[in-house]
Amino acid sequence: MKFLKWFLLTLAIMLIWLSLNVISTKQGWFTTAIAPTGDNNAFISTMKAFINSKSNGNVAMLVINNGKIVDEHYISKGEPVNNNTVFGVSSLSKWVTAVGIMVLVEQGKLDLDKPVSSYITQWQLPSSDFDNNGVTIRRLLSHTAGITDGLGHNGFDTREQVQPLVEHLTKALDAEEDVNGSVNVGIEPGSKFKYSGGSYNLLQLVVEEVTGLSFESYMSEAVFTPLGMTSTTYRHDNVENLAQYFDLNGDIRKYPYYTSLAATGLYTTTSDLHKFVTLHLNQNLRNANTTDILSNQSLKVMRTPHASMMGIDVWGLGAMLFTTNNRDDYIIGHGGKSPSLNATVRLNPANGNAFILLETGNSYLGANSATQWTLWETGNPDMYMLKNMIPAMIKRVLIGCILILIASLIIVWRKRSNDLS
């Protein structure tokens, strides 16, 4: 009985220690923002210095408060860049695609919870160990459809090499190394989050079949033109003011061509992304000239949690949920990364504050900068910062539990020694 009480008490103390570490990590108790909260000038100057010290190519940055641009920053080791310079934005394309999908939902042409197979005729999911009818538009948007392609797209060297979409769904020729590259159901739909570029390739086919238009034409008509995104395109070879694409050594490389337009093929500017961000603001913060291509209800659904990891909400419908904004909502947006290209957009819908950074020459400069903006904006670490903090938290928990056990054993030993004497 004495041993059981000792064991349970020791275990309880360890569990308290574990809980304290989990809470402190999630709340960012031991993190420090790069500038005092609310001090725009300090944040901007510190962020510019950070970016200048890390940049290996070119950068276009916007800081937005209350929906309005309060600062811009542009640097390049080659041709100058500005707010109208077009960058590839890789997976940031998915958030933009999701808006196009939601327009079709509002028009009654798509049902979020209807099986994707009911909308396509040119290609169907291969048979699986699970019910493929569980693969719905909602789950494709939120990466919970159980698709296990592993994409990742490297793209093609020339437009002539671009693989037809239905062939790409069966087996992507531009898949990253050591991934499946085939769009199939390998996890029970709805059971867990699994990031999937192929899910958005499938949505690209849905758009084309439902509208009868090419994906490019539909997105231009439904999203880009109404929002005034005049420089946004999927065809970088037609762009005059295209940013030079620097590699990690600072040398110029060529932008690839993609089959996977919906997942990773977008090219745009900071100016156009500012217009896109404005769409997602709370209605009272929107510019009077903003075209409301989606209702507030649909925009709210897009940032409602649909997927989580380790108990943390991480994804809505197309939008990443980076952390809470402390106002019963989230810091939303998306990022994009290719070997030496990084794009990011972060937005607080409640107050209209946002951060946009497009760059080449680095793999993570955009994400690392946006992580700092999120911590400064909310005081909360984002999902990437949390991920990086987990190893240290585990180490701290293990060391603490060992010390608790040693202390407990010493107390028991001393008590027994006193009893014997």
Q: Are 143 and 182 in contact (CB under 8 A)?
A: no
DSSP assignment of 292-325: --S-HHHHHHHTS--EEETTEEEESSS-EEEEE-
CA–CA distance, 252 with 79 (Å, rounded to integer): 11
Question: What amino acid occupies position 237?
Answer: D
In the block, tokens 């670490």 appear at: 381
Determine the average pLDDT of the residues in 335-349.
96
Per-residue pLDDT at 29 exceeds 90: no
- Enter the tokens of residue 206: 């849905």
Determine the average pLDDT of the residues in 401-415.
89
CA–CA distance, 268 with 313 (Å, rounded to integer): 28
Tell me the Cα Rg of the chain. Answer: 24
Residues 6+ apart with CB under 8 A from 111: 105, 137
CA–CA distance, 93 with 176 (Å, rounded to integer): 18
Q: Quote the pLDDT of residue 301.
A: 97
Is 291 or 229 the better-scoring residue by pLDDT? 229
Residues 6+ apart with CB under 8 A from 68: 352
pTM for this one?
A: 0.91
- Enter the tokens of residue 359: 């760059």
Residues 6+ apart with CB under 8 A from 320: 95, 314, 332, 333, 334, 335, 383
In the block, tokens 């005059």 appear at: 240
pLDDT digits (tens, 9 = 90+) for 38-84: 899 999 999 999 999 999 999 999 999 999 999 999 999 999 999 99
- Enter the tokens of residue 230: 């005049």
- Percent of all residues in the chain with a pLDDT value above 70, rounded to a whole number: 99
Name the pLDDT band for 1 (thresholds 50, 70, 90): low
Quote the distance between the C-alpha of residue 245 and its chain's center: 22
Is 325 or 3 the better-scoring residue by pLDDT? 325
Q: Has domain 40-380 been given CATH number 3.30.420.10?
A: no
CA–CA distance, 130 with 124 (Å, rounded to integer): 14
pLDDT digits (tens, 9 = 90+) for 302-322: 999 999 988 889 999 999 999
Is 240 or 388 the better-scoring residue by pLDDT? 240
Determine the average pLDDT of the residues in 363-392.
90
What are the phi and psi torsion angles at 60 (to 5°)? -130, 120
Q: Are 223 and 96 in contact (CB under 8 A)?
A: yes
Question: Element (H or E) spanning 21, and its range?
Answer: helix 2-27
Kindly report, as residue ranges, where domains of CATH 3.40.710.10 are found in the chain: 40-380
CA–CA distance, 126 with 170 (Å, rounded to integer): 9
pLDDT digits (tens, 9 = 90+) for 147-188: 999 877 899 999 999 999 999 999 999 998 888 899 999 999
pLDDT digits (tens, 9 = 90+) for 238-266: 899 999 999 999 999 999 999 999 999 99
Q: Are 191 and 146 in contact (CB under 8 A)?
A: yes
Q: Are 231 and 272 in contact (CB under 8 A)?
A: yes
Q: Are 341 and 247 in contact (CB under 8 A)?
A: no
Question: Element (H or E) spanning 197, and its range?
Answer: helix 197-211
Q: Quote the pLDDT of residue 384.
A: 81
3-state SS class at 61:
strand
In the block, tokens 């005092």 appear at: 36
Q: For the ranges 24-38, 135-149, 169-183, which has the lowest average pLDDT? A: 24-38
- Enter the tokens of residue 281: 């603001």
Terminal CA-to-CA distance of the chain, rounded, Å? Answer: 22
Name the pLDDT band for 289 (thresholds 50, 70, 90): low
- Rounded to the nearest integer, the mean pLDDT of the chain is 93
Is 165 or 1 the better-scoring residue by pLDDT? 165
CA–CA distance, 258 with 238 (Å, rounded to integer): 14
Residues 6+ apart with CB under 8 A from 136: 112, 113, 114, 115, 116, 145, 189
